[in-house]
Structure 1
Amino acid sequence: MSTDLLTTSLPILLQGLAVTLLLSAAAIAGSTIAGLLAAVLRTFGPWDTGRIAKLYTELFRGTPVLITLMFIYFGVSYFGYAIDVFAAGVAGLSIYQGAYIGEIFRAGIEAVPKGQWEASQILGLSRSQTFFSVVLPQTGKIVLPPLIGQYLSLIKDTSIVSMIGMSELMHGGQAIVDRIGKPVEIYGLVALLYFIVCFPLSQWVRHHDRRSLPT
């Protein structure tokens, strides 16, 4: 890659990367809340809410993320409301990834020994106190590695938001290619920037998994 091409393209790509990171952070927060809520409703909620949470989980795990993004961005406009492309991206990624994160949380909740519930009841804690004070902290330790892995998937899924016109990293790379060509060099640079963001997290997950193996 020539120096001129690098100096011309890098500022645009870094600006797109900043948008990608902001989008990722907002979607990580939203999907974590959605996933935790779905897991709690499926595990402890009344029958009706548990069935609704299960339907939500199965529906979005069985459909492509692009369909979710398109439905939110164009569907809201169809009903006469305006939605910002950034808000549509955050909502779409949060709802879609929340279905996967909900299953991670549910597995973590169910992995907490039943004896913890019994001991908490003996101590006089209510069901909600037991969940938030005893079960949830242990769940967080159990689900952290797969949760980080799902966050990595979310970060990479932000590239799909370019399909609804958001000027993030992938969209910036496409704009450069459309203007000056050089797709191999530009998309290679885009891939490198994604790698720089995702590699440290993937290494952390791998290191944590190695430490968790019995010796």
Structure 2
Amino acid sequence: MFQQYSLAHVQFMLTGLGWTVTLALIALVGGSIAGSVLTLMRVSSNAILSRIAQFYIFVVQGTPLLVTLFIAYFGASYVGFAVQPLVAIAVAFSFYAAAFLGDIWRGAIQSVPGGQHEGAHALGLSRVAAMRYIIIPQAIRIATPPTVGFFVQLIKNTSLASVVGIVELTRTAQIVSNATFKPLEVYLTAALFYFLVCFPITLFSRRLEKRLNV
């Protein structure tokens, strides 16, 4: 017998939405840390480090995120480690985000006009000091809008976390749909929740882009 699609079901989906945002934030933080390292490697004068970072970015960006999730989850078990689903997802999403953020930030640094580098050299600044005080502050202005935009992509990609047992928004929608046999209403509600989270962030990204005149 069909069950009524009730407020309790909506509240359950809101719990899943909380996990969706949490997973995206974990991925953003982890990806930012690893992405910073990749960025420095890519712009390094050491050709070997630059090539290693470039290869990593090429491989991760060319691999579906779902495959990365499976590797992180089942790969650890294969070598004898018991990994909690949340840990596997955090690692996989962080590695995924690092590849894209590293590429975004590398492009931002390299888009700073060459005259800034020459000016820093003329002032007697070392390469590290020039990066810290002149190049990176300007690159941050350039990289901020696309970074915020990428966060929206992370939020939507968290729907893949359900394949390893995390009950996020898409998974809660699937559970409620199976219980109530009202898939249209349920998935429209899930789509509304995604929109209410992602649309303001998208507007914020566009406003940042105009304000920073990038």
Give the alignment's TM-score, normalised by structure 2: 0.92
Higher mean displacement: 204-213 or 70-79: 204-213
User: Could you list the per-position Cα deviations for residues 136-191 of structure 1 after superposition, in whole angstroms to 9, with x for gaps in the alignment?
Assistant: 11111001111111111111000111111111111111111222221111111111
1:44 aligns with 2:41: no
SS of equivalent residue, structure 2 residue 206: helix
Post-superposition offset of 1:213:
6.7
> Which residue of 1 is the match for residue 151 of structure 2?
151
Post-superposition offset of 1:127:
1.3
SS of equivalent residue, structure 2 residue 6: helix
> Which residue of 2 is the match for residue 22 of structure 1?
22
Contact 2:32 2:101 in 1 (8 A): yes
Could you tell me which runs of 5 or more consecutive residues in structure 2 were left unpaired when the two chains were aligned. none
Post-superposition offset of 1:210:
4.7
Equivalenced residues, count: 211
- Identity within the alignment, %: 36
> Which residue of 2 is the match for residue 132 of structure 1?
132
1:96 aligns with 2:96: yes
Q: Distance in 2 between matches of 1:193 and 1:44?
A: 42
Give the alignment's TM-score, normalised by structure 1: 0.91
> Which residue of 2 is the match for residue 121 of structure 1?
121
Q: Distance in 2 between matches of 1:36 and 1:213?
A: 24
Contact 2:17 2:169 in 1 (8 A): yes
Q: Distance in 2 between matches of 1:56 and 1:5?
A: 46
> Which residue of 2 is the match for residue 75 of structure 1?
75
Post-superposition offset of 1:33:
2.0
User: Could you list the per-position Cα deviations for residues 4-62 of structure 1 after superposition, in whole angstroms to 9, with x for gaps in the alignment?
Assistant: 52312112111111111111111111112222221210111522211110111000111
Q: Structure 1 runs of 4+ off > 6 angstroms?
A: none
> Which residue of 1 is the match for residue 188 of structure 2?
188
User: Could you list the per-position Cα deviations for residues 99-121 of structure 1 after superposition, in whole angstroms to 9, with x for gaps in the alignment?
Assistant: 11111111100011222222222
Matches within 5 A, 1:165-204: 165-204=165-204
Cα gap change, 1:211/1:134 in structure 2, threshold over 3 Å: closer, same or farther? closer
Q: Distance in 2 between matches of 1:57 and 1:209?
A: 25
SS of equivalent residue, structure 1 residue 5: coil
**In the alignment, residue 59 of structure 1 is paired with which amino acid?**
V
Post-superposition offset of 1:206:
2.7
Q: Distance in 2 between matches of 1:48 and 1:211?
A: 38
**In the alignment, residue 154 of structure 1 is paired with which amino acid?**
L
Could you tell me which runs of 5 or more consecutive residues in structure 1 were left unpaired when the two chains were aligned. none
Q: Distance in 1 between matches of 2:47 and 2:23?
A: 34
**In the alignment, residue 66 of structure 2 is paired with which amino acid?**
L
